[in-house]
Each structure stands twice: as structure tokens, then as C-alpha cells.
């Protein structure tokens, strides 16, 4: 049976990222992302639902996230889900989080106190190799784009399969 573990999120950081170095010397930066969706309830009123997701970036991606991101920064994160399980005070606990494989900064140049060169938003991909990926490790890009035949028509919420 095949399996697939892929997450794509756009949201804003709820606090400044926290960078640390583990015993092997690798950098890890952790931050929390708030992602919202707007919808109409069955009674017709506009509603908003926000989820908070813990993100961990590793290696060079971790260093760049710690350097440039701040509370309120808007980012696009591609990664995979990770389940951590532990026991505390005799109770089993678990936490679902995202390991970032690529982080794209979505804030426009000059917003906040970040100073970047060039136009667009840089994409920083993780240190783990990705199969069948021809995209370079760092590439300026304005936003994720759909294939040309999908860009012409924007689906409404009713057209989405979920």
C-alpha cells in the first residue's frame, strides 16, 4: 500500500522563531504558524477558524529562518507531518508537528525590519534530498504557482474536493 506525507501551509508566525543547536552540531529552528480559513456557517454567517501548527526547520533552512523571520512574518511552508510520543507523570502524550522541507517568505521586500537582496521571496529548502526534484536549493519566486492550464480558472470553494 502506498503512503504520502506532505503538508503545505500559509500563515503567520505567532512568535519569534527559536533557534538551537543539537549535540551533533545541526541547527534547528522552531516556530508556531497560525493558519486561518474563512467560511460561511450553515446559518449564513461569516466565520473564521484558525489552527496553530508547530514547525521545525533544520540545517541551513533553520539558520535562515532564525535570521529573517519574526513574529507576524507570513510564510509558505512545505513539509511532512511528524508524531512525537512521550510519557509524563504516567500519562502518554503525543504531539503532531511539521518538519519543514521548504520555507518561502511571503512578506514583501522592506516590510518589517528584515533586509533582503533581490526581488521576490526566497525559497529555502531543507537539507534532506528530495526525489525527482530539479528545483535548486535556493530560488527566488513570488509565490507557488500552478501549471499554466490551471492558472486560467480559479476554483471556488465548491470546486475543491475537500
Q: Helix or strand or coil: residue 124?
A: strand
Provide the 8-state DSSP code for 154. Answer: P
pTM for this one?
0.66
Please report the domains of the chain, with CATH numbers, ordered by start residue: 7-159 (2.40.50.140)
In 3D space, the residue among 123, 116, 115, 113 whose CA is nearest the CA of residue 143 turns out to be 123
Summarised one tens digit per residue, pLDDT across range 63-113 is 999 999 999 999 999 999 999 999 999 999 999 999 999 999 998 765 544
Summarised one tens digit per residue, pLDDT across range 30-43 is 999 999 999 999 99
| For range 109-121, the mean pLDDT | 47
Residues in a beta bridge with 52: 34
Amino acid at each position: 500500500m502506498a503512503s504520502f506525507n506532505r503538508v503545505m501551509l500559509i500563515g503567520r508566525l505567532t512568535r519569534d522563531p527559536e533557534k538551537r543547536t543539537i549535540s551533533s552540531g545541526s541547527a534547528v529552528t522552531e516556530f508556531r504558524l497560525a493558519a486561518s480559513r474563512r467560511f460561511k456557517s450553515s446559518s449564513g454567517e461569516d466565520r473564521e477558524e484558525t489552527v496553530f501548527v508547530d514547525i521545525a526547520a533544520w540545517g541551513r533552512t533553520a539558520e535562515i529562518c532564525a535570521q529573517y523571520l519574526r513574529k507576524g512574518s507570513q510564510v509558505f511552508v512545505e513539509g511532512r507531518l511528524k508524531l512525537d510520543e512521550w510519557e509524563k507523570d504516567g500519562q502518554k502524550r503525543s504531539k503532531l508537528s511539521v518538519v519543514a522541507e521548504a520555507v518561502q517568505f511571503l512578506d514583501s521586500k522592506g516590510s518589517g525590519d528584515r533586509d533582503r537582496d533581490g526581488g521576490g521571496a526566497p525559497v529555502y529548502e531543507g537539507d534532506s534530498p528530495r526525489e525527482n526534484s530539479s528545483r535548486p536549493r535556493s530560488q527566488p519566486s513570488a509565490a507557488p504557482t500552478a501549471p499554466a492550464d490551471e492558472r486560467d480558472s480559479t476554483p471556488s470553494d465548491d470546486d475543491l474536493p475537500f
